[in-house]
Amino acid sequence: MFIDFFYKLRDVGLPASPTAFLTLHRALSLGLVSSLEDFYTASRSILVKSERYFDLFDQVFAHHFQGADMPDVKGIELDELARSMLEFWLNKPGELSRLLGMDEKALKKLTPEQLLEYFKERLKEQTEAHHGGGKWIGTGGYSPVGHSGYHPGGMRVGGVSGNKSAVKVALERRYKDYSQDGPLTQALVGEALKRLRHMAPAGPKDRLNVEKTIYQTTKNAGEIELVFDRDLKDKLKVILAIDNGGWSMDPYIPVVQTVFDYARAQFKDLKTFFFHNTIYDTLWGDPARYRKAQRISEFARLDPETRLVVVGDASMAPYELLATDGSIYAEERSGRPSIECLMFLAQTFPRSVWLNPKPSDVWDYTRTISAIRQIFPMFELTIDGLEQAVGHLMKK
Amino acid sequence: MTPNTETNRFTGASRYVLDDELARIVNISMALEMPLLLKGEPGTGKTMLAHAIAEALGMPLIVLNVKSSMKLVEALYQYDTLTRLNDSRFGDSKRDVSRIEDYIRMGKIGQAFTAETRTVLLIDEIDKADTDFQDDMLDVLDQMEFDIIEIDKTVRALNRPVIVITSNAKKDLSDPFLGRCNFHHIAFPDADMMRRIVRVHFPALDKDLLENTIAAFYRMRQIDGIEKRPATRELINWIRALKADSDCRPQQIGKGEPPYLGVLFKKSQDYQRAREAAARRRL
């Protein structure tokens, strides 16, 4: 019974265990489930063990019992992309239609919903060309008008079910905001901070002083006496370098800064610098990248234990990274290609990570991302990515 | 043991507003005899639920507040060596010093097991403890028995308690742990639900005050970049503060800086941000 349903859940990556499935059957055989609503709550509380999968569960449930669209794991990103295209279209209709090779007038006749669908179609063609035919079914149903932006502000409210049918409840997708696949948003600041709190030196562990122990033990005529030293550990120093040039990074800068600022108290020192696309000889202390220049060669004097966190999409024209004098700014001419500067940084600070707001499955399509990944360990700018990055920074 | 689901059905309590979904989950967990793991933002009533179940089903409630340094054995029983030493020296008590059993005291889990009636056992903030504690504890709860090593005796549960476990997700719980629990995440209540919750706590509340505070409260929850959003508990305390203040006029709450912001925002950075946001809206 419901074996299909169970495997569908597993297919979309929801970690439901066979034991839990058997428990569900026990619930069924005890006669506890008499309606679809009961089945919905029972199966969810038994099979799904984390709220981050609630949304996925809702979608599969709606699909299985009502034939709603099957969730596509890649769908979310495409959605976001389509919406940012719509945003772009609203600002500069002419340019986008030219880029798409479409008649502006033909596009103008469409309603926002139709436009969104159209953009999705176009994006789908593109991803298919790249991925070689990944299946895509739209999740659909977003009204772009009258909403504040791509990221609905704050966690949406939900949770009271009243007397609606289970499928309807599932279709509402009340737990959309709890699934943590998307890039970091203001709503997830609290979650992100929890991950960052792990970025603290391991507690004062007492360390065995072997030499003194041997000395004391022999002095004691063989009666073992252990001598411990207090393991002194300092709080971390962190350098945060943010790519704040170009609109692709705009939504993420305030989030990243908020998160690190909040965590400031747990660091000994937090320095924030800015750059555009990639790092040349200088980083900038001011967001305008004009007044406070900081030559990276001076970083050599800093504590090599400092953790360096670079945030950027690492996407640019290859020459910007590889050519000498590749910078798009005329005043940044040093004769050193940026990639050497990055290598210098990675060598100066062996504990460093690069956080990229782009989803990891598109990293391979950008040459500069691949090149930078050779130098810095790269993680997604998501809750999970942040967790992994912190894990990497704290590795012994 | 098949519980009598008719008489043991949980439908809500006097001070707790329950939604249908949660009621169903509680009933299923009781019938399956599995612990119910509750997650959710702080202040959404995770702990209150256990109190409500105990009240509604007329069972005694036993609360185990988990601490980070806690050992499992502390939750099960304690061997009171100090009293025994004392008794052996002064010998003025009725206890028999040679009987170790007289000096065994039950911990919270032990109390729930040895209680004459069925109890509700609330294990609060399980995520504070380390993984070993969690796994070991679930073994005990699974088998419904534990050994007292000092007197080589096995304590078996007389009645299987209704177990509610809460977690604030400070640390991730281990997979085997999750596998043995039913799981529910209490979502933040929407405005309608919140009105009902506030009504339960303040039956005679002025309607103006209610509407204005709730509107302002949800607006403030939307402020960007807040680490700890104000939750139900904060709202109720806030209303209590406003009620106590005779100068407070409900119409003014939505305008300018709301009074007693410190009741709602408890981290200094959050407080600062909320003040800035309030100031900006006024301009």
- Whole-number Å distance between alpha carbons of B213 and B239: 7
> Averaged over A108-136, what is the pLDDT?
52
Residue B11 has pLDDT above 80, yes or no: no
- Angle between helix axes A3-11 and A36-47 (nearest 10 degrees) is 50
Interface test with B, best of A45, A184, A266 (most B CBs within 10 A): A45
* A175 inside domain: no
Using the 3D structure, point to which of B186, B203, B222 is the last residue of a domain. B186
Which of the four pLDDT bands, split at 50, 70 and 90, describes residue A234?
low
Q: In this prediction, does ipTM exceed 0.85?
A: no
pLDDT at A180 over 60: no
Tell me whether residues A32 and B184 touch, CB distance under 8 A: no
Question: Is B174 inside any structural domain?
Answer: yes
In a domain, A325, yes or no: yes
Among B132, B165, B186, residue at a domain's last position: B186
Query: Which of the listed residues B142, B157, B186 is the one where a domain comes to its end?
Result: B186
Residue B109 shares a structural domain with residue B127:
yes
| Chain A residues interacting with chain B (CB cutoff of 8 angstroms) | 17, 19-20, 23, 26-27, 30, 32, 37-38, 41-42, 45-46, 48-51, 54, 153-155, 157-163, 169, 174-175, 178, 186, 189-190, 193-194, 254-255, 258, 261-262
Question: Which range among A116-130, A271-285, A289-303 shows the weakest confidence by mean pLDDT?
Answer: A116-130
Query: Is B196 found in the same domain as B171?
Result: no
Please report whether residue B6 resides in a domain: no
| Chain B interface mutation, best of A160, A186, A194, A384, highest count of B Cβ atoms under 10 Å | A160
Q: Which domain holds residue B100?
A: 20-186
Residue B118 lies in a domain: yes
* Confidence class for position B13, pLDDT limits 50, 70, 90: low
| Domain of residue A383, residue span | 237-393
Indicate if B77 and B178 belong to the same structural domain. Answer: yes
- The distance of A109 to chain B (nearest Cα, Å) reads 35
Per-residue pLDDT of A244-265, as tens digits, reads 876 777 778 877 877 777 777 7
Q: Provide the CATH number for the domain around residue B174.
A: 3.40.50.300
Summarize pLDDT for A327-381 with one digit per residue, the tens: 767 666 667 888 888 999 998 888 899 988 888 888 888 888 888 998 999 988 8
Assess whether B44 and B175 both reside in one domain.
yes
> Does B5 fall in a domain?
no
Whether residue A336 contacts residue A344, with contact meaning beta carbons closer than 8 Å, is answered with no
Of A23, A154, A169, the CB nearest to B222: A154
Asked if the structure places residue A145 within a domain, the reply is no
- Judgement on whether residues B65 and B151 belong to the same structural domain of the protein: yes
CA nearest A192 in B: which residue? B227
Q: Tell me how long chain B is.
A: 283
All residues of chain B having their beta carbon less than 8 Å from the beta carbon of residue A160 are 19, 189-190, 192-193
Q: Count contacts between A and B (CB, < 8 Å).
A: 114
Q: Identify whether A185 is part of a domain.
A: no
Same domain, B142 and B215: no
Instruction: Report the residue count for chain A.
Output: 396
More confident site: A14 or A203: A14
Indicate whether B7 belongs to any domain.
Answer: no
**In a shared domain, residues B60 and B197:** no
Alpha-carbon span A310 to A381, nearest angstrom: 11
At residue B121, the pLDDT reads 92
Indicate whether B2 belongs to any domain. no
Q: Are residues B156 and B222 in the same domain?
A: no
List own/partner pairs for B194-200 with CB under 8 A and 24 or more apart.
B194/B218, B194/B232, B194/B235, B196/B17, B197/B17, B197/B232, B197/B236, B198/B235, B198/B236, B198/B239, B200/B14, B200/B15, B200/B16, B200/B17
pLDDT, residue A232, reads: 54
Number of compact structural domains in chain B: 2
User: A251: distance to nearest CA of chain B, Å?
Assistant: 13
Q: Picking from A217-226, B68-77, B144-153, which range would have the lowest pLDDT averaged per residue?
A: A217-226
Q: What is the CATH number of the domain that holds A355?
A: 3.40.50
Residues 22-51 of B with CB under 8 A from A: 24-25, 27-29, 31-32, 34, 36-37, 39
Residue A209 counted as domain residue: no
Is B77 in the same domain as B156? yes
Is B13 within 8 Å of B35 (Cβ atoms)?
no
Please indicate if any CB of chain A lies within 8 Å of the CB of B19: yes
Residue B131 scores a pLDDT above 70: yes
Same domain, B197 and B119: no
B269/A262 CB distance under 8 A: yes
Report the mean per-residue pLDDT for chain B: 82
Asked if residue B128 is part of any domain, the answer here is yes
Query: Does B174 share its domain with B69?
Result: yes
Q: How many domains does chain A have?
A: 1
* CA angle, B7 then B165 then A202, to 5°: 175
Are B215 and B175 within one domain? no
Is residue B165 in some structural domain?
A: yes
